[in-house]
Structure 1
Amino acid sequence: MPSFDTRVPAVLVRLDPNPFHHGTLGAARSLGRAGITVHAVVESLSSPVVRSRYVRGAHPPPAQPSPAELVRLLLRLAERIPECASRPALLVPLDDITALCLAECRPELAGRYLLPDQSPEQLSRVADKAHLAETCRALGLPHPRTELPAGADEAAAMAWSLGLPVIAKWSRPWLLPPGGGLRSTTIVGSLAEVRALYARTPQAGSRLLLQELLPAGRDLDWFFHGYVDSAGGCSTGATGRKERSWPDGAGLTAVGRWTANPVLDGTARTLLAALGYRGVCDLDFRFDRGTGTYHLLDFNPRPGAQFRLFADRHGLDVIRAMHLDLTGRRVPAHLPAYGRRFVVENYAALSYVSSPRRRYAQEPRPGGGTGSGAGGGRRTAGEAAWFAADDPGPALAMLRAWLAHALRKGLLRLRRLLRPAGRPRWRPAVTPQPPPSARTPSTDRMSPR
């Protein structure tokens, strides 16, 4: 077990209002179990993560998620945390918008908080999907063919050229309004869907990208998680593959396994070195059988929600590596635990219900073989995203919130099914008013004085 400076507290920050973000809970448990005091800025004081025994204090985010408002909140918070009186705290961003905001206001936070050496321009180069496509082209890194339409007609033409179905992405998904029904990534199968989605660009707040859909299949979706320290080393880095995702084929990891993949590992580390990147990262890849290459799909400049998959035999993961490095401690070598699994209970359940049997036949794993050296034969203990014997509160809170969420969605769908076809929704009747010139005292009796 590495030696941590437990005098340095940590503040987890997530501006994304998603209450089911299991990565926040993973970060709280990882640091808390190491004896580090943890505070969390999360969407609500009723969030499941707040129920964790390892969260010392929970704090609501600013009403407007801007860098200036975030700076004011964090400086006030530093005054209230006793441990911050004599030393700075570690700041851990857990979503893209938070990582970008913290990189922008890093100078104002210096002295009170510890952050990796990152600039907003550097993070935007990889977090913005449009900029990522340009970055891959400049570096010669395989990336799905991507188009940026400037109109609905052009979007339809580009989708036809790419070949339906296509992947539709918003270049800055962190700007999507909550509850608006827009997803960061969608598989669209018709030109009408493409046009309809493009029409919602003003609501989305960023550009729509159309991307070639690489064929899905068993063992084709992979990811790399790592931490690049202050000297540019990446001793804590590993590759894993998605066994199940939600939604299927274009969603987050529901079940993942730590699997050695030297080709992918080398590709990811070469990219990080070329970018001069520092800090935690989460990279998503898909293997293309036709070309025999791994295509970079996403680059997230913060911890991936399933980062606890890569907790090694001594408990070292990317969050702990970040704390060690920024407090001046040595980051030990990562000890692989190939075969370790990570299961996100709520999304795994949805995946098994929708697809109880795998759609794809067994096939050799790309770039890794099938033996234990590739992580394919030996199984080791795993970890659940929500349930933990030493910290059961968040799982119970998540289950209650998840059931309430499912019930609300079910009732809404039932109302839609029961509404007679063609019957318009009820709206209150509005009595037409005469123009001002035609009004008399009797018709204007209720007008404001």
Structure 2
Amino acid sequence: MPVPPFDTRVPAVLVRLDRNPFHHGTLGAARSLGRAGIPVHAVVEPADGPVTRSRYVRSVRARPASATSAELAALLLRIAGEVTDAPSDPVLAVPLDDVSALALARRRAELADRVLLPEQTEEQLLRVADKASLAGTCAALGLPHPRTELPASAEEAAAMAWALGLPVVAKWSRPWLLPAGAGLRSTTILRSLAEVRELYGRTPQAGSRLLLQELLPPGRDLDWFFHGYADTEGRCAAGATGRKERSWPDGAGLTAVGRWAPNPEVDRAARDLLGALGYRGVCDLDFRLDRDTGAYHLLDFNPRPGAQFRLFADAGGLDVVRALHLDLTGRPVPPHLPAYGRRFVVENYAALSLLASPRRRSTAGPGTARRPGERAWFAADDPLPALVMGRAWLAHLLRRALATARRRLAAGRPRHPAALPGPSAPTSSTTQLTRR
């Protein structure tokens, strides 16, 4: 069934408040909507990053200086007035990170006359976006989730880590509050009690609680994700499962290569959770299989499009971002047709993963024969973002390598050629993990 015509009179405004210039999900949203003839505008940081060079992005605004929800709401209303023909014409807002989704939900009532958003409150989103609340939500619903503890002191953190078993996963419950440049990551694997105590001591700086989580052993083909869109009636109009084949850091981080593959158990768990929550809008869920129990544990729930959402573009071009535009502009969302075997490759992360683990292979599994896929950065109809990203990426790696070399020299270590380290995971990603 072909995707019905879009209402191209309704522009889309992509919103991403974090400072990650290599967020390929934002580029994917611009291309998806732009190729459908929908005018695309963006509020992103940095305002001159690779995404802004896309032919499908018509205008770019820098994020508000303090990035408060009030400033963001005012900016969106101003953009709506500039890019539409009449004072009553709407625009669609598409948040691409957790902090943007929460800020828009907080201001939904005052934006309702001009900005189309799913019917969600900030409190509803915090049930899943806040890592501590997610653990409680899973416990209340009986959904498998890694054992999680919330320490109240450094010594209690050490005792809990010992009981969980080292190494242990440490997460900040609200990673969007982490200050830029502080060297704190949303998720860290801690291997000693000294590391646990030291990280807990940085709680005041982090801005949210530290939680400790059992580390489910990583392994080949254990990490899965579900991307979906729950429409205004609560139906999961578009949704699919995929398997993470490569990640960066290798075996524990962002999706570098993903494949569309059937997993009825993950699909059922995700859809049941959305129904129990009364969720509306786009979501991205990460699961890991516990080999000992055979259960899929929910690791993360992101209330917005995942960076690799374009993996699930079907033969008619339908993906979760297009489903969002169709639904909120009053168009029907057609059935989402599986394309098992389709692959999505994030070139920069895939290259690092291959360097780290060149021989690792993933099993295709039943019903997942290879199909044409998509690259995150390079597209024949939109090549400039890939060129800009490649130049910026090489400069980034060089800076990291030089910083590593200086630290070694300062510590009095023998000089060795510095390996090119990968980037720190973006604040919105996880490391047990997942994403994206």
What is the TM-score of this pair, normalised by structure 1? 0.89
Inter-CA distance 37–84: structure 2 relative to 1 (3 Å threshold): farther
List per-residue Cα deviations over 1:344-377 (Å, max 9, x = no partner).
Answer: 111111111112122x8x77x8xxxx322xx2xx
Determine the structure 1 residue equivalent to 2:203.
201
Out of 139, 155, 179, the position equivalent to 1:137 is 139
Determine the structure 2 residue equivalent to 1:383.
374
**1:169 is the counterpart of 2:171:** yes
List per-residue Cα deviations over 1:427-447 (Å, max 9, x = no partner).
Answer: xxxxxxxxxxxxxxxxxxxxx
Determine the structure 2 residue equivalent to 1:117.
119
CA separation in 1, counterparts of 2:6 and 2:85? 15
Inter-CA distance 217–83: structure 2 relative to 1 (3 Å threshold): farther
CA separation in 2, counterparts of 1:274 and 1:141? 11
Determine the structure 2 residue equivalent to 1:309.
311
1:406 Cα deviation from its structure 2 partner:
1.1
Give 3-state SS (helix, strand or coil) of 2:236's partner.
Answer: coil
Determine the structure 2 residue equivalent to 1:270.
272
CA separation in 2, counterparts of 1:135 and 1:152? 25
Determine the structure 2 residue equivalent to 1:413.
404
List per-residue Cα deviations over 1:241-265 (Å, max 9, x = no partner).
Answer: 1001111233111110000011111
Which amino acid in 2 is paired with 1:309?
L
CA separation in 1, counterparts of 2:315 and 2:394? 35
CA separation in 1, counterparts of 2:366 and 2:411? 58
1:421 Cα deviation from its structure 2 partner:
3.4
CA separation in 2, counterparts of 1:261 and 1:95? 26
Determine the structure 2 residue equivalent to 1:328.
330
Query: Across the two proteins, how many residue pairs are aligned to each other?
Result: 411
Out of 379, 390, 397, the position equivalent to 1:399 is 390
1:419 Cα deviation from its structure 2 partner:
2.5
Inter-CA distance 420–26: structure 2 relative to 1 (3 Å threshold): closer
CA separation in 2, counterparts of 1:84 and 1:257? 43
Give the superposed CA RMSD: 1.4
Q: What pairs up with 1:44-443 in 2 under 5 angstroms? A: 44-83=46-85, 85-358=87-360, 370-372=365-367, 375=368, 378-419=369-410, 421=412
Which amino acid in 2 is paired with 1:112?
R
Which amino acid in 2 is paired with 1:162?
L
CA separation in 2, counterparts of 1:111 and 1:384? 37
CA separation in 1, counterparts of 2:126 and 2:85? 32
Give 3-state SS (helix, strand or coil) of 2:225's partner.
Answer: strand
> Sequence identity of aligned pairs in percent?
73
Q: Is the 8 A contact 1:155 1:195 kept in 2?
A: yes
List per-residue Cα deviations over 1:187-242 (Å, max 9, x = no partner).
Answer: 11111111111111122111111100011111100000000000111120000010
Which amino acid in 1 is paired with 2:296?
Y
Unaligned 5+ runs, structure 1:
423-449
List per-residue Cα deviations over 1:365-412 (Å, max 9, x = no partner).
Answer: 8xxxx322xx2xx11001000000000010011111111111111111
Give 3-state SS (helix, strand or coil) of 2:156's partner.
Answer: helix
Q: Is the 8 A contact 1:146 1:211 kept in 2?
A: yes
CA separation in 2, counterparts of 1:187 and 1:419? 26
Q: Is the 8 A contact 2:178 2:206 kept in 1?
A: yes
CA separation in 2, counterparts of 1:71 and 1:36? 22
Determine the structure 2 residue equivalent to 1:16.
18
Which amino acid in 1 is paired with 2:120?
Q
1:420 Cα deviation from its structure 2 partner:
5.7
Determine the structure 1 residue equivalent to 2:34.
32
Q: Is the 8 A contact 1:9 1:84 kept in 2?
A: no
List per-residue Cα deviations over 1:42-61 (Å, max 9, x = no partner).
Answer: 01221110100000000001
CA separation in 1, counterparts of 2:244 and 2:24? 16
CA separation in 2, counterparts of 1:245 and 1:83? 44
Which amino acid in 1 is paired with 2:318?
L
CA separation in 1, counterparts of 2:37 and 2:272? 34
1:83 Cα deviation from its structure 2 partner:
4.4
List per-residue Cα deviations over 1:73-119 (Å, max 9, x = no partner).
Answer: 11121222134645101100000000000000001111111000000
Give 3-state SS (helix, strand or coil) of 2:285's partner.
Answer: strand
CA separation in 2, counterparts of 1:56 and 1:85? 20
Q: Is the 8 A contact 1:127 1:172 kept in 2?
A: yes
CA separation in 1, counterparts of 2:95 and 2:85? 20
1:181 Cα deviation from its structure 2 partner:
1.5
Inter-CA distance 194–296: structure 2 relative to 1 (3 Å threshold): same
Q: Is the 8 A contact 2:84 2:90 kept in 1?
A: no
Q: Is the 8 A contact 2:227 2:305 kept in 1?
A: yes
Which amino acid in 1 is paired with 2:218?
A
CA separation in 2, counterparts of 1:68 and 1:86? 21
Q: Which moved more, 1:76-85 or 1:65-74?
A: 76-85
